């Protein structure tokens, strides 16, 4: 059974090398002291995640980031503009490093971000440690946006959960690799590419061929329990509907990501609505209406197509 704990208890657990689930503005994370190998190993165990996946390290501010990584002027400009917020920067690791090699999967780089969430920042302040924290879901399951999703996903374990305000953004952070000459987008996420382009016009996009740089690109990563059928223009008998804009007619279970067609609103509901729909035991699939590929639509469609691609990444 999972259990809820206070901020003080959470800080103590982390200092003692245990894993605590905590809220961020993107999704809930499974947090542990990023300088403690055993603590970090527990994260991988809980997630049943392939060991080669490096984890994102959360720090309380830019000054804390500079303890662990080299920030180029360009990286500093992004950090100044978007931290705290849903942006992870992959940066050259400063050596020697106190960070566990398990966190970086042995790479000479580290993914850092400052979360924009009161409870997360209070926890970072209280522990005064960098926190490794992937999304708080077992590999291949949906990411959680509230404490009850986490409790459901880990009900078989005795995971401690620090409850806080629901994750407003509802999508993982956007990841940019800042270790090349031109910054490369490794993962679409809660910060739109348009916003990033206003600060740095020159960016590239990692193709699928180039994978494993961000193994978050593994297809099954976001699969719900029930098959997804994308770009649905009608709903078949036995299907649930995940609508966007004017909903398709259906007599089955149905939720609308955004009746007004607002992509930010849709992103914030995406994981929680999929969680809710997959609980209908009698449905055969979730029919998902088309989502436009603009703004946060990229990240939403990215998550949905991974969820739909259940066979490719078993």
| Main-chain dihedrals φ then ψ at residue 22, nearest 5 degrees | -140, 160
Label residue 288 exposed, middle or buried (CB < 10 Å: 0-12, 13-18, 19+). buried
Rule CB under 6 A: say whether 170 interacts with ligand TXA.
Answer: no
User: Quick one: what does residue 35 bind among ligand TXA, Mg ion, none, with the CB cut-off 5 to 8 Å set by partner type?
Assistant: none
Residue 220: CB minimum distance to ligand TXA, A = 13
Please give the span between the terminal C-alpha atoms of the chain, in angstroms, as a whole number. 28
Quick one: tokens of 75?
A: 């990286």
Rule CB under 6 A: say whether 53 interacts with ligand TXA.
Answer: yes
220 closest CA partner among 310, 113, 155: 310
Residue 285: CB minimum distance to Mg ion, A = 23
Question: What one-character DSSP code corresponds to residue 210?
Answer: G
Q: CA triplet 169, 138, 161: central angle to 5 degrees?
A: 65
Q: Give the contact letters, 216-255, x = binds to ligand TXA (CB under 6 A), - = no.
A: x---------------------------------------
Q: Which residue is nearest to Mg ion (CB)?
A: 135
Cβ nearer to Mg ion, comparing 105 with 122: 105
Query: Binding segment for Mg ion among 38-46, 75-83, 131-139, 229-237 (CB under 5 A)?
Result: 131-139
Q: From the list 26, 100, 254, 301, which residue makes contact with ligand TXA (rule: CB under 6 A)?
A: 26
Residue 187: CB minimum distance to Mg ion, A = 9
Overall residue count recorded for the chain in this entry: 314
Q: From the list 10, 110, 124, 266, which residue makes contact with ligand TXA (rule: CB under 6 A)?
A: 110
Q: Are strands 228-229 and 285-288 parallel, antiparallel or unpaired?
A: parallel
Residue 27: CB minimum distance to Mg ion, A = 7
Residue for token digits 């590419």?
A: 193
Rule CB under 5 A: say whether 256 interacts with Mg ion.
Answer: no
Distance CA 305, CA 21 (A): 27
Instruction: Give the chain's radius of gyration (CA, Å).
Output: 19
Residue 33: CB minimum distance to Mg ion, A = 19
Distance CA 160, CA 223 (A): 24
Residue 90: CB minimum distance to ligand TXA, A = 5
Q: Show contacts with ligand TXA in window 133-162 (CB under 6 A).
A: 133-135
Q: From the list 116, 135, 160, 192, which residue makes contact with Mg ion (rule: CB under 5 A)?
A: 135
Query: Binding segment for ligand TXA among 9-17, 127-135, 227-235, 237-245 (CB under 6 A)?
Result: 127-135
Positive/negative CA dihedral, 262, 24, 310, 299: positive
Peptide bond into 293 cis (omega under 30): no
Peptide bond into 96 cis (omega under 30): yes
Q: From the list 41, 64, 74, 107, which residue makes contact with ligand TXA (rule: CB under 6 A)?
A: 107
Distance CA 103, CA 89 (A): 15
Q: Which residue is nearest to ligand TXA (CB)?
A: 216
Find out whether 176 and 184 touch, Cβ atoms under 8 Å. yes
Q: Give the contact letters, 181-220, x = binds to ligand TXA (CB under 6 A), - = no.
A: -----xx-------------------------xxxx----
Footprint of ligand TXA (CB under 6 A):
24, 26-27, 29, 53-56, 88, 90, 104, 107, 109-111, 115, 133-135, 172-173, 175, 186-187, 213-216
> Which residues make up the interface to Mg ion (CB under 5 A)?
135
């Amino acid at each position: 059974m999972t259990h809820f704990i206070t901020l003080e208890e959470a800080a103590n657990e982390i200092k003692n090398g245990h894993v605590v689930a905590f809220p961020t503005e993107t999704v809930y994370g499974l947090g542990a002291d990023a300088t403690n190998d055993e603590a970090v190993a527990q994260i991988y165990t809980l997630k049943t995640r392939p060991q080669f996946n490096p984890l994102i390290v959360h720090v309380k501010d830019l000054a804390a980031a500079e303890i662990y990584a080299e920030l180029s002027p360009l990286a500093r400009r992004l950090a100044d503009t978007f931290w705290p917020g849903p942006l992870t920067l992959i940066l050259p690791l400063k050596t020697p490093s106190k960070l566990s090699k398990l966190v970086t999967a042995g790479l000479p780089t580290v993914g850092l971000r400052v979360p924009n969430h009161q409870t997360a920042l209070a926890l970072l302040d209280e522990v005064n440690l960098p926190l490794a924290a992937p999304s708080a879901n077992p590999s291949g399951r949906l990411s959680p946006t509230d404490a009850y999703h986490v409790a459901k996903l880990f009900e078989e374990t005795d995971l401690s959960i620090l409850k806080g305000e629901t994750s407003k953004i509802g999508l993982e952070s956007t990841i940019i690799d800042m270790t090349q000459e031109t910054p490369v987008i490794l993962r679409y996420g809660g910060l739109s590419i348009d916003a990033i382009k206003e600060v740095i016009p020159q960016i590239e996009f990692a193709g699928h061929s180039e994978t494993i740089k961000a193994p978050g690109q593994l297809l099954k990563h976001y699969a719900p329990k029930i098959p997804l059928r994308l770009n649905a223009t009608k709903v078949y008998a036995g299907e649930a509907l995940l609508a966007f804009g004017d909903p398709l007619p259906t007599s089955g279970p149905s939720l609308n990501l955004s009746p007004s067609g607002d992509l930010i609103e849709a992103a914030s509901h995406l994981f929680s609505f999929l969680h809710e729909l997959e609980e209908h035991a009698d449905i055969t699939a979730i029919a998902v209406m088309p989502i436009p590929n603009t703004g946060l639509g990229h990240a939403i469609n990215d998550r949905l197509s991974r969820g739909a691609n259940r066979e490719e990444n078993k």
